[in-house]
Amino acid sequence: MSVPGILSLVFLRLAESVWYLERIFFVVLLVRIVASFFPPRSQGTWSTVAGFSVRLTEPVLAPIRRRIPLMGMLDLSPIIALFLVDILGFILIQLFQYLARI
């Protein structure tokens, strides 16, 4: 396989990886949203899963939360994060697919 062929394959795999990471982030953020409505009552599986989702999503949500104030008791940072991650994922996927074609 030639070098351009290998690079095309690498860029296609990067685009695919971005797509998977975007979907995984969506699921983890959805778990965090559900956990905010149904907080864990004791140490167990749900507590572990909720804590894991907080640790993974907080680096993304904290900067958004600092810039966007709460609207009453409603935290809009997860919705904004989903929107921003979706846009960033779309841009990266398009870029990698473009680079795979040249």
Total residues belonging to the chain:
102
pTM for the predicted model, two decimal places: 0.85
Residues 46 and 40: their CA atoms lie apart, in Å, by 6
Q: How far apart are CA 8 and CA 101, in angstroms?
A: 7
Which pLDDT value is given to residue 1?
64
Tens digit of each residue's pLDDT, the chain (102 residues): 676 788 999 999 999 999 999 999 999 999 999 999 998 888 899 999 999 999 999 999 999 999 988 888 888 999 999 999 999 999 999 999 999 998
8 Å CB contact between 34 and 55: no
Domain ranges of the chain: 3-101
